[in-house]
Each structure stands twice: as C-alpha cells, then as structure tokens.
Chains A and B, each alone.
Chain A
C-alpha cells in the first residue's frame, strides 16, 4: 500500500468513524418493554437453566465473569483472576464495594456458598461442570480461591450470570434452596432490582441506583411482558408496545413482513453461548437402526439445506457434526460428511440387506418430535417424506413435552426423535452428554438416549475433560467430532439460528455471546 493510499484510508476512517462515535453516545432513562416466553417458573438461574428464567434473572443476579463473542472471559463480579500453572487453583479477586440489593456486602463467602452448595448440588449441568471443584477457599472477603482435583478448562466459560449465578448466602444458607421464597423475588447484585411479578401478566424491574458500574444502567425500568400467543407478540411489536424479544419471539413466517416495515433490528448474534443444535436421535436398540449403514443412509437421504431454507425460513445453518460452527475454538470441518444423495442412501440400505418390498417399502420407523411448535412438526413431516423416498416408512407420533420426555428418556420407547440440544460454549458441558456411555441414564432428560456406547469415544471424552493444554485439547475434540460423524448415533441436522427482534429505538442490546442473557446494563433507548 502506497503512502498516499494509506493516508487516504486514514482520512476515510476519520470521516466515517467520528460521526458514528457521536451517534453512539448513550442516553439515560426510559422503560424497556420486552417479551419473555414462555413464562418462567421462577426467577433464579443458579440452579435452573430454563431459558426464560435466564432472560429475566441475568438482569438481577450476576456471575463472576462475562464473555465476548469468542467466549473470552471479561471481568464482572471478579475484577481479576489467575489460573495456576497446573490448572488446579484459580484465584478470583472480587470487586470492591459491591452490595446486594438489600444492602449487605457481596463477599467471597457468597462465592463459596453459590459454588459448593448451589451449582455443584442443584444445577442441572453444575454437577458435571464443577465435578472437579473440591473447595472454594476464602482467605479474605474479596478473594475466592477455587481448588480443583484436576484441571477443568471448561469451568472458565461457565461463570456467567446465567451459567454460574451468584446467590446471596445470607438469604439462602440453611434453607431449602429450591423452595426458597426469594426464588420468586430475587435479591442480586445486578444492574436491575426486582420489583414485582404478576404471574401470567408481567415482571417489573427497576434501575439499581447503587450499581457498581457507575453511571450504568441507562434504563430506568424493564418490563417483561408475558404474551403467550406468537401472532399477538408480532402485533405487540408492530404497535410498539413491545420493543425487544429474544429466542425468535415471533412466527418465522412473520419475520419478512416485520423487517419490511424498517422499524426493527433482526439480530442472530448473541446465541453463541448456547450454540443450539437440531438433531435426530436414533434408538440403537432398534434392529434396523443398529446397523451403521442404515443410519448413514438416513444421513444421505435428508436434504439439510432444504430443511433450513424452507421449513426454518433460513434461520439455521446445515450442521456438519456435533460441534456447531459458532464454537470457533473447537469446531472441526474435517469429519466424515454425508452429502444429500438419494441413490447412495438406497444403495446403503440395499447393502444392509433391507430390500424394498412389493409396495416399495423396506421397513417402518416411528418418529417422535419434540413438541416445541409448528416448525418442529413441519420438520417431522419433511423427514417422513424424505425417508419415504428411500423406502423407509415413517409414522409421525405427537404428544406434549412431558409425554415426549418420558417416552424418550424414561421408557426409551422410540425409534427416531427430532430433538433440540444446546451445545453450550464447551463440548465437555454440552456435547459429550449425547455420546458418553456414562451418560446413558434412565429418566434424565437430554442424556444419551440413543444408547450409544463406544469405548474409544469414552476414552476421548474423558481425556477432553482433564486436558489442560489448549492445543492438545482441541485435537482431542476434533477426534471426538470425527468419531461421532463416523458412528452417527445421532444425526446433527442443523445449527438453529435464534434471533432477537428489537425496535430500532433499542441500542446496544446485543454485544456479546450472552445476548439476551446479558445484564442489559449497557442497553439504552434512543429518544
């Protein structure tokens, strides 16, 4: 680049950059009305990872850390931290002068209590995430030292306000934590203070004037409205009664129309932390699905592009394996792939010895789909069609969520499910549970339902859990992805792209991988 061009580009940056910076000056005040759906069962995420709880709870309660888009940790309640060379000791220096909303000081005793008594014992994923955590030492009120029996590199991504939420020890110690009345009226350290929850109607939060991040939050109030009907939510966006909603708050077929009004921002970033994945589980006890060639044939028979484009209106990306591509640190593209190829599928099924009968059919499978909405049902209908073309007769069976979970995870009474998982920021937390022999657990939702058990896979999974070296760990995770794609106990169909819909008035609503699970201390409204 010549000097003149360099200078020119510099001038350009200056010209374009400056006015933008001016426009971004946040304004104080205003009420942000958003939707949360469905209504959360309680308001504390520390031991219940349900999605809608996370949306509300993270504004009131915080974690030690927060994260950028690439999952690099940033300070929150912990100002600085240090991992010992052997990876077994992590020292957190807590922020000074942080107070709970009831005026008590936030100290290392709260950290110790939350980690040992809440996450480790009650959080659905906490038991495995914090399995190696043996103690939290509190040498001073502002220092918390995590002691691990073995290195747990994945623990560092589980300390957000959603995944590793701090609870006030003085309100929870000695109580039945899951039944504590403060679960419905939380007391936190966050930018917003819980004010009121009228069940079935709204949740009201107010600005915390004593928030540790001086000058923040910018908003005066947050109103979270419960609007159960998706079409009515779309109408509430259109009238401006609702300004923001996460997790694809309106029907997918309404999105184009809403976008055309020019009044809204459609943001698909901010879900990297969850990394949602849509997949088919095969029951390996089924005599047809036991055969790897049958599973591979099904993989070839399904047009994943079509599923994403037509059924899901483009809100997804065809998956290539068990680790979604948004997990940039771990994703590996170098895995066995199954291109859409009906001929090859037919060939594989013939080879497996399941020839077509006189009616053109080979065998029958029952397909149960997770009943989370019409998109899920339409996916099941597409699969019936696609597998029918290669001679597999599919019967779609529908039921409500409770019946689905019981059928799949307690009774193991299914052939094929279409299901939905969060891969979460680290494969040890979100992905291994589908493939690990030790996670074949009767009655436990979202465990290894296919019944897949491969000693080689188990070895890799267990090595990934304790490998402290970043590069070596990445290699192991790549191997895990290859194995998963080779054996195909589940078929990863596509990465779900949730979107956040926001009125253009709402500024800075999505600025990290946490998205709507962020604290919203930096969100502001344009006047």
Chain B
C-alpha cells in the first residue's frame, strides 16, 4: 500500500509542470488566431461604435500585452479559477459543469457499448479466423470505420426519424412537457439512441480490429500450444489463456479514448444537436472565447493525466508481472 501512495504522489507531482506547460502553450497558440472576442461580438451585432469596442476590449483585458494576459490567466488557474467567459456572461467552470453531464452520458455509453461489442466481435472473428464469419465482421468494421461519421448520423436520422418516425431526430429531451421522473429517463434514453449508435459504430470498428489482431497474436505463442497440448478444449484456451492476455492493448486504447471523452465528438454533437462539450469548445474557437477554450483544454488535459494513472493501475491489476514504480 505505501508503495501505491508513493507512486500516486509522484505522478501528481509530475503532472503539475505538464499541466502548466499545456496551459502556457495553449495560451500562446490561441493568440496566433487573428481577431478577438470583442471583434466577433461586434461583428455579430452588425457593428459597434469605436468607444464601445474600446470599452469591451478593456473589460475583457484584451488591450493588455500578451504576457500580462498570460500571467493573469495562470494566476487564476493557480487558485483553481478557470476565469470568466465574457461572451456567455458566465464563469467558465459553470459553463463546463453545465455541459459535463450530457457529454459524459453520451461518451461513456458510446465507448462502453463499443468496447463490449468490440470484444465480442473481435473474439468471434479471431476464433473463426479466415472463415466467412471473420470476413463478415471485418467488412462491417471497415465500413463503419471508413464512412464519415456525420453522414452515418444524417442517414440514421433520415431512416429512423423522418421515414420510420421511431426516434427523435435530435436534442437531448422533449422540452416543454411535464414528465414523471421515469418518463423523463425513458425520454432521454430515446434521444440517446441515434447519437450513441453513431458514435459507437466508429469506436466499435477500432476495438474489433484491435481485439482480433491481438487475439491472433497471442494464439501464436508457445503457452497456447502448451495449453492445447495438456488437453484443454478450445473454448477454455480462448477465454482463460488467450483472452486475458489479448485484452491488455484494449485497455490502452480505452485509456486513450477516455482521455478524449471531455472533448466529446463535435460532429455527432452537431448533427444531433447534443449539448456537449465538444460543440462548446468548437464554437469557442470561432468566437475567440479564449478563457472558455483554455478552460476546456485544461480540464481535458487534467483528465488525460488522471486516466493515464488509472490505466497504469489497471495494468498492474490485470497482469501481475507489471510493477508500479
């Protein structure tokens, strides 16, 4: 146990300079984009007087030199304050917090579905390698991976919403109706189906391919031959010996993707009007809402660092040969 605590403490300490570097890098990078939040607001408003523009820039701190803006931002972050979005007239932390549930709900469900189904399909394909069922799985995975995600989304809307009328075409819930708690959950679930499936299809392809390849690699190793030689049946070989070893790369992949969870999926969120963080970040780029964008990037990088630690811990658990140092 003390070993684990020491490990975690070291990882947290290491994370501080990484996060600081990310914050500074992002800040500098964003300032390369021409135009600022005040320009965008004035442009959308169809104009502004010189005085009002100057007033706005002063209020947003945009009239200050870059190092002052950067210093102010870092000082804020050091006190765990992500700053204020002048465009939304709201604290950045509140804006991110408001989008977090929708983002997590969609992304976690989609990744979980893709992960589980990917394992099933990958294992199936590997156990029937070079037989028709393997070919079928591979074709489906390739198609799902190669088709543009927004197109799949739109086609699903056309089929299931417009033509069949089974599912709502977008949004997260039916607004303006009073539903009981249970009906509300069912309503959200109905709205979730299409975006989840669209997003999961994309991830599913990755997991299936990876699982299949990784299973096949393990099948070729000596201990599998040994297991077969001592008379174990194929099913037992597949699940007890091969699967447990083959699932490690899947965990790596899962870790990578969970890290990008907060970023959401701009395309799926846009097509289905899902109120997630991806869209918020995407729009913040065009609105030059730097505080908001920096906030989202910082929270995302925090998550990546955190997930990496978790993945390492999971490795140690799954494979006793791996040690935490």
Contacts and interface: CB of A to CB of B under 8 A. Distances in A.
A433 interface: yes
A403 B221 CA distance: 57
Contacts of A124: 42, 45-49, 52
A199 B39 contact: no
Interface string B19-54: 000000000000001111001111111111111110
A183 B34 contact: no
B246 to A, nearest CB: 39
A223 B271 contact: no
A403 B88 CA distance: 20
B87 interface: yes
A225 B89 contact: no
Given A405-B43, A444-B47, A229 B270 contact: yes
24 contacts: A31-B176, A33-B176, A49-B47, A124-B47, A127-B49, A183-B89, A201-B273, A225-B175, A229-B270, A235-B154, A235-B158, A235-B170, A236-B169, A241-B168, A401-B43, A401-B286, A402-B288, A405-B35, A422-B46, A443-B53, A444-B49, A444-B50, A445-B39, A447-B47
Interface string A108-120: 0000000000000
Contact of A239 (B52, B161, B285): B161
Interface residues of A, number: 60
A199 B272 contact: no
B154 A232 contact: yes
Interface in A173-228: 178-179, 181, 183-184, 198-202, 204, 221, 223, 225-228
B43 A236 contact: no
Which A-B residue pairs are the 6 nearest by beta carbons?
A402-B35, A200-B275, A406-B35, A201-B275, A50-B44, A227-B273
A72 to B, nearest CB: 24
A122 interface: yes
Contacts of B44: 41, 48, 50-51
Given A402-B36, A407-B34, A199 B275 contact: yes
B44 to A, nearest CB: 4
Nearest to A184: B89
Given A33-B176, A201-B275, A410-B39, A445 B47 contact: yes
A121 B285 CA distance: 29
A42 interface: yes
Contact of B40 (A49, A238, A405, A422): A405
Chain B interface size, as a band, is 35 or more
B304 to A, nearest CB: 23
Given A227-B170, A232-B271, A433-B47, A402 B39 contact: yes
A231 B271 CA distance: 8
A338 interface: no
Given A204-B176, A402-B34, A403-B35, A125 B169 contact: no
Nearest to A180: B89
A48 B175 CA distance: 27
Contacts of A445: 39, 42-43, 46-48
A229 B271 contact: yes
A406 B39 contact: yes
Contacts of B43: 401-402, 405, 445-446
B280 interface: yes
A228 B287 CA distance: 15
Contacts of A39: 283
Contacts of B51: 127
Given A199-B275, A422-B46, A235 B169 contact: yes
B98 interface: yes
A441 interface: yes
A405 B273 contact: no
Interface in B86-116: 86-90, 95, 98-99, 102
Contacts of B34: 399, 402-403, 406-407
A200 B35 contact: no
A238 B157 CA distance: 11
Contact of A179 (B39, B40, B89, B276): B89
The residue among B46, B275, B279 with the most chain A CB atoms within 10 A of its own CB is: B46
B169 A232 contact: yes
A400 B273 CA distance: 22
Contacts of B82: none
A226 B53 CA distance: 28
A320 to B, nearest CB: 23
A444 B49 CA distance: 7
The residue among A183, A202, A227, A228 with the most chain B CB atoms within 10 A of its own CB is: A228
A509 B87 CA distance: 30
Contacts of A41: 41, 44, 87-89, 287
B178 to A, nearest CB: 11
A236 B170 contact: yes
Given A33-B176, A444-B48, 14 more contacts: A42-B88, A42-B89, A122-B52, A199-B275, A200-B99, A201-B273, A202-B175, A225-B171, A228-B273, A228-B279, A400-B285, A401-B286, A409-B39, A445-B47
Contacts of B175: 33, 201-202, 204, 223, 225
Contacts of A443: 39, 50, 53
Contacts of B165: 239
Contacts of A200: 99, 275-276, 279-280
B199 interface: no
Interface string B150-176: 100010011001100100111110011
Contacts of B52: 121-122, 124, 127
Given A227-B273, A443-B53, A445-B48, A202 B154 contact: no
Given A124-B46, A235-B158, A401 B40 contact: yes
A199 B273 CA distance: 11
Given A124-B48, A231-B154, A444-B47, A199 B98 contact: yes
